[in-house]
Structure 1
């Protein structure tokens, strides 16, 4: 079809057919988003006057919750990896780096003294596109020491991760090692990805009392809404906290009135 012939009804039929074919809601949503980008560019270039994609044609993201590994599973995965790749598990679970970012991370991007990771490039050496993705990430001294030990063990070159030949590790090679390691971890889903370690980090921060803005900042997400949509079920249930807040005000009021009555007598 020519772009000018595409109508909203065609887009809705297309996304409905994708769902009928068994594609996940989140994947259909992502495909619609990519089509929307293409059509927006076509409008900008004057090829069409308006885009057939809008919120009305959007299929919705779906409500599937991310799998959150336990701490024991994270350490089991770490120990199951080849020694030269174990630092990557630490960077995924405690720094929140993505696969391409881990494979592209240079030794110079880690400030071992101050405890800061500076994501700057993704594999092979492509500059990260957004300012948010380049946000420096503070790390504790214990993690900085682990990463320093990784370098001192000879597992690094210019990049923090290298293969047995000292060359930069590509995402495909690292993911192959991940698949082998995850099969050795009890109860870890077969589809568990390195990216899912970011969910573990989010759960760790939430359990420590971090609010949505802190979690958003540490995961380097552009939107707090996306963070809430993904992890809202991990925050503690608010019933008791709201009861306590209201109760405190009412109790204080009652005590004040009792004190005033006592003073009047």
Structure 2
């Protein structure tokens, strides 16, 4: 039921009940035409299923996130990332009904120019900003679905753009060789698994002897190590879509065979390939210490352990592997992730055109001897080029 009435002070009050027997919603205006317009808008929204109770949006972003996050089923890594993103916003105390696109834009600008840390002189990297923005946007979209707000205020917000390949640090073959040579023997195979099988740190740390089939020359990724409280480690399933079978090169198979015989002998298939404290896999901090020690000895301070995974991917691409092959080898959940990270490493249309044209020239003309191969000068006098 909807109606408009004139109040004793001369103002006009529109009122209606969204649900029969429910709470009445009112709005007071100076002009009757404005009251009628508001009432028509609310009635139309109710008819089309787009109605949002104006009072529902009084909850602040921080309050809504607390209520919404308590209902979510997240793995610990996702929960940490969501809480980090939600706590970084500059509009946590703003009621959702008053949250504007400008609030979100101001937050993005704040991340780009003001946040510093880990040795950064400027703000967060574009990729980090995008990740936090997407996590916060998930909260706002949930608020839309819950009919707390009518629309997502983050829609259309522009984010800083990263240059292609700017975040990709590709070690050279010589650098990888130096790090391998300078690493301690027990850690050399760990490095090789990252560089020649594309394993993430947590995946390599969580390997068991039974995950490796030396005869079939394969390795199965079925778990990962994640940081827990303090020095504890947590074993759980890999990232979504990262369970995979990795096909091992013959040299890596022999490295693994020698390593198992010397450092991890036994028949128990559940024994950890690499061991940390209390018989558990090594903590990420422990692996980080081993890695920093190796790269310092090799004078390769700029290389991160994760860069060895990029090194592996670049090798597959250089060998002519297609997107799906690289995606499966790396354990990406979709080919889009692979392309977003490594698209610039694949030959472009221009590269393929030049290569095809070179092949045609070779087929038609063969290898033409140069003037120097005939015993002539590279730049003969002009008189020699003119027929007699």
Q: Do both proteins adopt the same fold according to a TM-score greater than 0.5, normalized to the shorter chain?
A: yes
> What does residue 101 of structure 1 align with?
203
Alignment equivalent of 1:37, drawn from 121, 131, 138: 138
Higher relative contact order (CA 8 A, sep 6+): 1
| Rounded Cα–Cα distance in structure 1 between residues aligned with 2:142 and 2:184 | 44
User: Secondary structure at the residue paired with 1:153?
Assistant: helix
Unaligned runs of 5+ in 2: 1-58, 62-95, 115-121, 226-233, 361-388
Q: What is residue 194 of structure 2 aligned with on the other side?
A: 92
Quote the residue 1:260 is aligned against. none
Contact 1:32 1:58 in 2 (8 A): no
Q: 1:6 aligns with which of 99, 106, 128?
A: 99
Stretches of structure 1 lacking an aligned partner (at least 5 in a row): 250-265
Instruction: Give, in angstroms, the shift of residue 248 of structure 1.
Output: 9.0
* Greater Rg over alpha carbons, structure: 2
User: For residue 176 of structure 1, what is the aligned residue in structure 2?
Assistant: 289
Deviation of the 1:169 alpha carbon: 0.7
Q: Distance in 2 between matches of 1:186 and 1:169?
A: 24
* TM-score of the superposed pair, with normalisation by structure 1: 0.80
Greater strand fraction, Structure 1 or Structure 2: 2
Q: For 1:244 and 1:92, locate their aligned partners in 2 and report how far apart those are by CA, in whole Å.
A: 32
Q: Is the 8 A contact 1:87 1:150 kept in 2?
A: yes
Question: Could you say if the C-alpha distance between residues 6 and 176 of structure 1 is closer, same or farther in structure 2, counting changes exceeding 3 Å?
Answer: farther
Q: Is contact 1:155-1:166 (8 Å) kept?
A: no
Indicate how the Cα distance of structure 1 residues 60 and 224 shifts in structure 2: closer, same or farther if over 3 A, else same: farther
Distance 1:38 1:117, change over 3 A: farther
The structure whose residues are more often helix, as a share, is 1
Q: Do the aligned partners of residues 120 and 49 (structure 1) sit closer, same or farther apart at CA in structure 2, a change above 3 Å counting?
A: farther
Write the deviation string for residues 163-198 of structure 1: whole angstroms up to 9, x where unpaired: 487542111110111112212224551xx3211111
Identify the residue that residue 150 of structure 1 maps to in structure 2.
259
Residue in 2 that maps onto 1:257: none
Q: Is the 8 A contact 1:84 1:155 kept in 2?
A: no
Match of residue 18, structure 1, among 97, 102, 111: 111
How many residue pairs match? The answer is 246
- Coordinate RMSD, CA, aligned: 2.8
Partner of 2:238: 128
